[in-house]
Amino acid sequence: DGGITQSPKYLFRKEGQNVTLSCEQNLNHDAMYWYRQDPGQGLRLIYYSQIVNDFQKGDIAEGYSVSREKKESFPLTVTSAQKNPTAFYLCASTDVWRSDEAFFGQGTRLTVV
Amino acid sequence: QKEVEQNSGPLSVPEGAIASLNCTYSDRGSQSFFWYRQYSGKSPELIMSIYSNGDKEDGRFTAQLNKASQYVSLLIRDSQPSDSATYLCAVNGDSNYQLIWGAGTKLIIKP
């Protein structure tokens, strides 16, 4: 079955630590996205990538980094510079030829301990 | 700054009634409009897409688009407790790759 896989489902980070969230898709989609969602809030765009080896900052990129070395993979690193990283992180992808419909992974819940 | 606005709710509707969810958007050039449902702790799932003015029906769901007034709505007929969720409105943004998201409306269906 085609889809998007995020791992891990739950992640705990210590103060000052970098952590990496994985996102893999087998939908052959060109575009991939990372969103952050805080309780009771909507989706805020962190980074997006339209093509391999290229990515753009979203609205809240500070304290995060990404890479896009393969079409299928778009990992997100939450660095120690992100002072309030506790949130629900969602990875999504779109096929631009299907009018922007976004497919989501199951999400990663990150907690600072 | 392109925006999508939704009433955060919660919107409480009796079981079996019609739930009406509304969304307004600021960019007159928007072409694609989506409604996603998100259960607590889960990822959003697409339930309706609409691209032209008028109504689009799919089972108990009807999406309505009015580009002149810049709003899109979602009607849920014969509401069920399983419809209780947050409903997110999304509108295409600056390019074919980005969606602008509303903050969502929390819907509660009371048995």
The contacts of residue B54 (CB under 8 Å, 6+ apart) are B64, B65
What per-residue confidence (pLDDT) applies to B72?
97
Pairing of strands A19-25, A4-7: antiparallel
For A87, nearest residue in chain B (alpha carbons): B41
Q: Tell me how far apart the alpha carbons of residues B110 and B106 are, in angstroms, rounded to a whole number.
A: 13
The contacts of residue A60 (CB under 8 Å, 6+ apart) are A36, A44, A45, A46
Q: What residues of A are in the B interface, CB distance below 8 Å? A: 31, 33, 40-43, 45, 48, 50, 88, 90, 94, 96, 99-107, 109
For B31, nearest residue in chain A (alpha carbons): A99
Which of A41, A94, A104 lies nearest to residue B44, judging by beta carbons?
A104
The answer to whether B73 touches B18, Cβ cutoff 8 Å, is no
Pairing of strands B54-58, B45-50: unpaired
The predicted model gives A17-30 an average pLDDT of 94
Q: Which of A89-93, A98-102, B23-27 has the lowest mean pLDDT?
A: A98-102
The contacts of residue B27 (CB under 8 Å, 6+ apart) are B2, B91, B93, B100
B101–A101 C-beta distance less than 8 A: no
Q: Tell me how far apart the alpha carbons of residues B32 and B68 are, in angstroms, rounded to a whole number.
A: 14
B92–A104 C-beta distance less than 8 A: no
| Inter-CA distances, A67 with A51, A73, B99, Å | 11, 8, 21
The neighbouring-strand residues paired with A110 are A11, A87
What per-residue confidence (pLDDT) applies to B19?
98
pLDDT, chain B, mean? 93
Q: Which residues of A touch B7 (CB under 8 A)?
A: none
Q: Tell me how far apart the alpha carbons of residues A96 and B98 are, in angstroms, rounded to a whole number.
A: 10
For A50, nearest residue in chain B (alpha carbons): B97
What per-residue confidence (pLDDT) applies to A83?
86
B92–A43 C-beta distance less than 8 A: no
pLDDT of A102 over the 90 cut = no
What per-residue confidence (pLDDT) applies to A2?
73
| Residue A16 confidence class, pLDDT cut points 50, 70, 90 | confident
Which of A40, A99, A103 lies nearest to residue B32, judging by beta carbons?
A99
> Does residue B42 sit at the A interface (CB-CB below 8 Å)?
yes
Q: Which residues of A touch B104 (CB under 8 A)?
A: 42
Share of chain B above pLDDT 90, in %: 81
Q: Which of A15-24, A51-60, A96-105, B96-105 has the lowest mean pLDDT?
A: A96-105
* H-run or E-run covering B11: strand B11-14
The predicted model gives A51-77 an average pLDDT of 96
The alpha carbon torsion through A27, A61, A63, A70 (nearest 10 deg) reads: 30
